[in-house]
Amino acid sequence: MGSSFGQFFRISTFGESHGKALGVILDGVPAGLEIKKSMIQRELDRRKPGQSSITTPRKESDQVEILSGVFEDKSLGTPIGLLIKNEDAKSLSYNHMKDLYRPGHADFTYDARYGFRDWRGGGRASNRETTARVAAGAIAGMLIKELANIETLAWVEQVHKVKAEINAREVTREMIESNIIRCPDQEAAKKMIELIQVKRKEGNSVGGKIKFHVKNCPPGLGDPVFDKLTAEIAKGIMSIPATRSVSFGLGEEAIHLTGMEHNDIFSLADDSSIETLTNRAGGILGGISNGQPIEGNITFKPTATILKTQKTVDRFGKVVDFQGKGRHDPCVLPRAVPIVESMINLVLADHLLRYSIASMGRLKKIFY
């Protein structure tokens, strides 16, 4: 099972939705990085369930324990172990579906792959698994901030047919966190929240789109061919449950343009550094960052578990009626925002360390 991610900044996660705990081992974190438990906890609080009226009512404090690799708030350069215990798992809520293949879920495919599965809340296929990623992503965020002043922001751009209208370069974290949907457009946010509440009462769910914007990423990150920065970020993002697509820059809108219209023209900034007049490529050319903000969009499907009756089959080959029960998000997007940021930060941390090994002289020139 692919539970590890990254090369030089590498994480391995463990735990199930209704197991005793979730956790992550980080290997490759340089010694001397300031790591405060409160900074990790802040990100976990943004992802945890039960945080608002439009998320799952499951109550988990998601308190992180630092098991190893940190002393006096500094990384030791040795593996860092983080643990988050499950406190509100209710496995009995899933007894009625242990022999069913729920529509839209990984029940059938896990059985097809392994011949056995953890049916309690989906096991490793559950969004609960991302708790460990967010804990690791918080440390990755600290590293890229320290090395290059990089900051990753993500926010809800669209829910179903309700779309925000806002300039990405004007968005701040305060704007994102100003409402429970995490949309910086306040008018659109109100409509999104109302829509989700209506769908929840109907026993249904909705999907949408998250936008990401990475500030201060230096040029030169990414490796040619198979380890392009676009490819690595896309892999990280598409490993998040419920994702359906990822695009960079103009994305699919690029098909409506000619090469003359799409190309970002190079120019010299006031400090004589090279920049582009536009950013249609989304900050990455040839799989390598060009110094402009890294931008893109991610689409998320509607939550698979709904409270309406659907036809399905069980593992004995019998067609049955199925109605979802338990505690679920009517829309995954608000809690997916910190997960998106975490996966991007993990990729950037990994590539910053690759970059330092490939060209130490240039690393010092740019970062120090």
> What is the pLDDT at residue 120?
79
φ and ψ at residue 70, rounded to 5 degrees: -135, 135
Confidence of residue 363 (pLDDT cuts 50, 70, 90): very low
Three state DSSP letters for 193-204 = HHHHHHHHHCCC
> What is the pLDDT at residue 326?
66
Q: What is the mean pLDDT of the chain?
A: 92
Per the structure, how many domains does the chain have? 1
Q: CB within 8 A of 155, min separation 6: which ones?
A: 164, 171, 175, 176, 182, 183, 184, 210, 211, 337
Which of the pair, 47 or 119, is modelled with greater confidence? 47
Q: Is the pLDDT of residue 124 over 90?
A: no
Taken as a whole, the chain contains a residue count of 368
- The span from the CA of 148 to the CA of 170, in Å, is 20
> What is the pLDDT at residue 340?
98
CB of 42 within 8 A of CB of 138?
yes
Q: 212 lies in which domain range?
A: 4-367
303 C-beta neighbours (distance < 10 Å), count: 24
> What is the pLDDT at residue 365?
42
> What is the pLDDT at residue 328?
82
> What is the pLDDT at residue 91?
61
CB of 192 within 8 A of CB of 54?
no
Q: Which residue has the tokens 């709904």?
A: 306
> What is the pLDDT at residue 92?
61
Q: CB within 8 A of 111, min separation 6: which ones?
A: 101, 117, 315
Identify the CATH number of the domain in which residue 81 sits: 3.60.150.10
pLDDT tens digits, one per residue of 319-344: 999 887 767 889 999 999 999 999 99
CB of 171 within 8 A of CB of 153?
yes
- The span from the CA of 284 to the CA of 248, in Å, is 8
45: exposed, middle or buried (Cβ count in 10 Å: 0-12, 13-18, 19+): middle
222: left (phi over 0), alpha (psi -120 to 50) or beta: left
Confidence of residue 357 (pLDDT cuts 50, 70, 90): low
Q: Which of 23-32, 89-98, 207-216 has the lowest mean pLDDT?
A: 89-98
Average pLDDT (69-98) is 86
Confidence of residue 1 (pLDDT cuts 50, 70, 90): low
